[in-house]
Structure 1
Amino acid sequence: MAEVTTDLDELMAELSSLADPRARKVNERHGDDHGVNLSQLRAIAKRLKTQHELAGELWGTDDTAARLLALLICRPKAYEADQLDAMLREARAPKVHDWLINYVVKKSPHAETLRVAWLADSNPVVASAGWALTSERVIKKPDGLDLAGLLDTIETSMADAPDRLQWAMNHCLAQVGIEHSALRPRALEIGERLGVLKDYPTSPGCTSPYAPIWITEMVRRRDA
């Protein structure tokens, strides 16, 4: 069995050797400055298993591929709320931002505290994280959420929101419509009137992120 590499310099060299300039060029179109295949990155994480201290060292490099690897081998519940807040604000690349939310913050005991704080943040990227966590609650734990109030905010703010924030708010709009039948007509009406992502290019076989289409298709599949 091969020895597990835990030396930071060796890991950084390994990540560098796996970088593909063509993949980096594609990723850069989405704001992600790395060229490491994500399947290869996951294979390294599987080899390393959980190594929280090493994850901290990888994060500290400010290298996108290293930070993605860090998020795969860290211990989510070991972070304090202020650490996660700082990490979110340091997460330059969209993929790092998304993995931090989905693989770490959602598993943290501080997720709800951060959700509330981030929703009210003036930084639109930080606020988008709050909306992502809110979508998670809409689906899994809606009790206590003011769903009608969320729709009010989406109705007044989504059309003019910056891209990442707009995307996250639109996701929340769709999930309210999908999961809560009493609010579905209003969610559909808001989506139709605002027209956000109506013309978003969608590959064959994929569902459009345009909320009215998304809601209708997901409900159809569930009820089929």
Structure 2
Amino acid sequence: MAATTVTEASAESLASGTTLAEVMAELAALEDPRSREVNEKHGDDHGVNLGKLRALAKRLKTQQVLALELWATGDTAARLLSLLVCRPKSFDYGELDAMLRAARTPKVQDWLVNYVVKKSPHAEELRRAWFADPDPVVASAGWALTSERVVKKPEGLDLDGLLDIIELRMKQAPERLQWAMNQCLAQIGIEHPGDRARALEIGERLEVLKDYPTPPNCTSPFAPTWINEMVRRQAL
């Protein structure tokens, strides 16, 4: 992270008038047993409604010093709030890598990748490093960033090579990595017509997430269904 000077930190603190203790007290007041029950079903150990968390972040606005303090608590709700009030471009490569490895709950990892890393000048370097990491949780972040490139900047990506890896490894991959690889498979099929037939064939044969319970009016994460539905919408 680009170092925050004492003067900058003091100015930010004076401008916000908000202390870590005050924010942690607000988060504690937002704790709701029903929200915790729902969140824990998805592997997230906090009981704060995400809509209320976003409202708190909107009121606090960007505060990098506070964001660092919130992250350092290790508390999941505090870390989610940290990711909403931080300055993404202030973190260096090493800090983002360390944060990702410390972000073991799904929602913290998801927000870190989508709200911070994707806005960082280190995103591509981190994508390449994480993609090949032996830790499947870290690797899942690399695959998430790869899916982003498949959609927005596919130049230079070996799509056939990605499909080879998916075909070989996705069926046996741990859950979070499997989800990330499945998303990449679907995005290749949706965005790249020349690779669509192979993406559909791989999805049909592997049957990953084929029976995943999907609410009404939502698209199934089963890659062939996902691909066909999004292509249909694009044609409208």
Fold shared, TM-score > 0.5 on shorter chain: yes
Alignment of 1:106-125 (within 5 A): 106-125=118-137
Matched, 1:41 2:49: no
Matched, 1:61 2:73: yes
Name the counterpart of 1:216: 228
Normalising by structure 1, what TM-score?
0.98
Matched, 1:70 2:82: yes
Separation (CA, whole Å) in 2 of partners of 1:18 and 1:10: 13
2:148 corresponds to which of 136, 148, 153: 136
Q: What percentage of aligned pairs have identical amino acids? A: 73
Name the counterpart of 1:145: 157
Separation (CA, whole Å) in 2 of partners of 1:4 and 1:51: 8
C-alpha root-mean-square deviation of aligned residues, in Å? 0.9
1:177 corresponds to which of 185, 189, 193: 189
For 2:211, the aligned partner's letter is D
For 2:227, the aligned partner's letter is I
Normalising by structure 2, what TM-score?
0.93
**2:172 partner SS:** coil
Name the counterpart of 1:11: 23
For 1:206, the aligned partner's letter is C
Separation (CA, whole Å) in 1 of partners of 2:29 and 2:77: 12
1:95 corresponds to which of 85, 107, 122: 107
Matched, 1:22 2:57: no
For 2:94, the aligned partner's letter is D
**2:171 partner SS:** coil
Separation (CA, whole Å) in 2 of partners of 1:177 and 1:34: 35
Structure 1 gap ranges (5+): none
For 2:108, the aligned partner's letter is V
Q: How much has 1:48 moved relative to structure 2?
A: 1.0
Q: How many residues align?
A: 222
Q: How much has 1:92 moved relative to structure 2?
A: 2.0
Separation (CA, whole Å) in 1 of partners of 2:181 and 2:166: 6
Matched, 1:79 2:100: no
Q: How much has 1:143 moved relative to structure 2?
A: 0.3
Separation (CA, whole Å) in 2 of partners of 1:74 and 1:100: 10
Native 8 Å contact 1:4 1:47 kept in 2 = no
Q: How much has 1:6 moved relative to structure 2?
A: 1.6
Matched, 1:200 2:209: no
Name the counterpart of 2:6: none
Separation (CA, whole Å) in 1 of partners of 2:17 and 2:42: 30
Q: How much has 1:22 moved relative to structure 2?
A: 1.2
Separation (CA, whole Å) in 2 of partners of 1:6 and 1:123: 37
Structure 2 gap ranges (5+): 1-14
Native 8 Å contact 1:5 1:48 kept in 2 = no
1:161 corresponds to which of 173, 181, 194: 173
Separation (CA, whole Å) in 2 of partners of 1:88 and 1:31: 16
Separation (CA, whole Å) in 1 of partners of 2:134 and 2:106: 18
Q: How much has 1:44 moved relative to structure 2?
A: 1.1
**1:142 partner SS:** coil
Separation (CA, whole Å) in 2 of partners of 1:217 and 1:125: 28
**2:130 partner SS:** helix
